[in-house]
Amino acid sequence: MKTDLRVLLTGGAGYIGSHTAVELMRAGSDVVIADNLVNSCMSVLPRIEELGGRPVTFYNIDVCDKDALDDLFTKEHIDAVIHFAGLKCVPESVKLPTLYYRNNLTSTINLLERMAEHDVRYIVFSSSATVYGESDTMPLREDMPTGACTNPYGMTKHMSEVIIRDTAKADERLGAVLLRYFNPIGADESGRIGEDPQGIPNNLLPYVAQFATGRREKLFVNGNDYPTRDGTCIRDYIHVTDLAIAHVKALDYIIGKSGCEVFNIGTGNGYSVLEVIDAFSKACGKELKYEFAPRRAGDIPTCYADPGKAERLLGWKAERDIKRMCEDTWRWQFNNPMGYEK
Ligand code: NAD
Ligand code: WQD
């Protein structure tokens, strides 16, 4: 394992970035975070330092800002970049497509250009299973078709993948890894950092966790007539700590290489909405009563990964099961019912 790297995490104050910062520091690296706090807050930073046992260098900047990023790369010696920064709310992206295309694509392009100027050669990118669109074939493999995305958010992930792959083709110094995350949930087992969405959560787990604390009044299961074992949608939930460790392994893999490689990051197991609610009920020690509601527009019945390529090439495999994912989510939510202090 390569240690003592100095890694720039764009969007590193967010949910997945904060957990990855901690795992990088635990593995012996230093972390620089660039985040404009559009979907996160400063109070996560001391907690990252506390868990990682090292200081974090923080830049409150927009990754789309050329001069600000130039200034960062001039001041800091950076060995590699993990690019988390981006907007990620699917329904918002349908309403405000240009905001999503501008933010998610300009940040990626600006980052690649500044990296080239400052001879920073390695990038790991946060992509998503959403790039596969509505595939009927499961499990999803990396060589299956991508790009027929059902919403602008997904298109920004697909387009960023294309931009990074083409840049790696054109610049033989560049080594890039595209990680296609499935459904990240859970929290660091300390319960000190976790997912803290603004407003009413769109995603299942943060909603269920807030319902379990009493912060949300009702729990709705969207759709019970899907062609699945219990009629509710099946997803490949992945513990955020396993996902964070996948980034450490991805850096270890790419440093010293060039080109672009893509990996699914999931467990390979699918759980239905009802199975997740049941696992969460057990984790929090109370029965969570739900109501069925209409299907959510754009939801596909089933989605899970073939994670075999990551196991073969990165030596990475998810270790934490659904019970652990729910227990760790609950510890975070119970200890921080209103999220981070803002
Ligand atoms: P998050 O919103 O918690 O973190 C993203 C961070 O990026 C936030 O701290 C936000 O303030 C910052 N940011 C956004 N635009 C920025 C900009 N222009 N300049 C600087 N900072 C900016 O989201 P997350 O769940 O941690 O996701 C991280 C990445 O992983 C995102 O790119 C997301 O699209 C991708 N992803 C997330 C999921 C998921 O379900 N959480 C699944 C697949 C892929
Ligand atoms: C899971 C299931 C809902 C809330 C999303 C993005 C995807 C990726 C991961 C970034 C679905 C159901 C939900 C609720 C419910 N993000 N549900 N009641 O849709 O698989 O993926 O996050 O890349 O792009 O689309 O995850 O957690 O939103 O939903 O019944 O209150 O839970 O209908 O079947 P999804 P999710």
Q: Which of 15, 100, 122, 153 is catalytic?
A: 153
What is the enclosing helix (H) or strand (E) of 127? strand 122-128
Give helix 322-335 / helix 273-284 axis angle, nearest 10°: 60
Does the Cβ of 207 fall within 6 Å of ligand 2? Answer: yes
**Ligand 2 centroid from CA 188, angstroms:** 21
Beta carbon of 228 within 6 Å of any ligand 2 atom: no
> For 221-265, how does the pLDDT look when each residue is reduced to its tens digit (9 = 90+)?
999 999 999 999 999 999 999 999 999 999 999 999 999 999 999
**Whether 253 is catalytic:** no
Q: What is the pLDDT of residue 342?
A: 84
Q: Measured at the alpha carbon of residue 248, what is the angle toward residues 247 and 252, in degrees to the nearest 5? A: 110
**Residue 221: nearest ligand to its CA?**
2
Ramachandran bin of 231, using left for φ above 0, alpha for ψ from -120 to 50, beta for the remaining angles: left
Burial class (CB in 10 A: 0-12, 13-18, 19+), 213: middle
Q: How far is the CA of 285 from the centre of ligand 1 (A)?
A: 31
Separation of alpha carbons 81 and 288, rounded Å: 41
pLDDT value at residue 1: 67
Q: Which two tokens stand for residue 331?
A: 């510890």
Residue nearest to atom 6 of ligand 2 (CA): 90
**Residue 64 Cα, ligand 2 centroid: separation in angstroms?**
28
What was the pLDDT predicted at 136? 86
Ligand nearest to the Cα of 208, by number: 2
Atom of ligand 2 nearest to the CA of 226: 34
Give nearest CA residue, ligand 2 atom 7. 130
Question: Pocket residues for ligand 1 (CB within 6 Å)?
Answer: 10-11, 13-17, 35-40, 62-64, 84-88, 103, 107, 126, 128, 181, 184
Tokens of 287: 């029965």
Total number of residues shown for the chain: 342
User: Could you tell me the maximum CA-CA distance found in the chain, to the nearest angstrom?
Assistant: 56
Name, in order, each residue with C-beta under 8 angstroms of 122's C-beta and a sequence gap of 6 or more. Answer: 79, 80, 81, 174, 175, 176, 251, 254, 255
Residue numbers in the chain where pLDDT is lower than 70: 1-3
Which ligand minimizes its atom distance to the CA of 108? 1
Structure tokens belonging to residue 305: 């990964």
Give 258 Cα–ligand 2 centroid separation in angstroms: 34
Q: How far apart are CA 185 and CA 241, in angstroms?
A: 9
The Cβ of residue 224 has, within 10 Å, a number of other Cβ atoms equal to: 17
* 183 in contact with ligand 2, CB cutoff 6 A: yes
| Ligand 2 closest atom vs CA 221 | 30
pLDDT at 4: 86
Contacts of 203 (CB under 8 A, 6+ apart): 183, 197
Q: Is-contact 288 217, C-beta < 8 A?
A: no
Give 183-202 pLDDT, tens digit per residue.
Answer: 999 999 999 999 999 999 99
| Environment class of 174 (CB within 10 Å of its CB; exposed 0-12, middle 13-18, buried 19+) | buried
CA of 81 to the centre of ligand 2 (A): 28
pTM of the predicted model, to two decimals?
Answer: 0.99
- Strand, coil or helix: what is 82? strand
Nearest partner of 143 among 301, 271, 267, 309, judged by Cα = 309
Ligand 2 pocket member 190 (CB < 6 A): no
Among 46, 10, 5, which Cα is nearest to 27's? 5
CA–CA separation, 243 vs 319, rounded Å?
A: 10
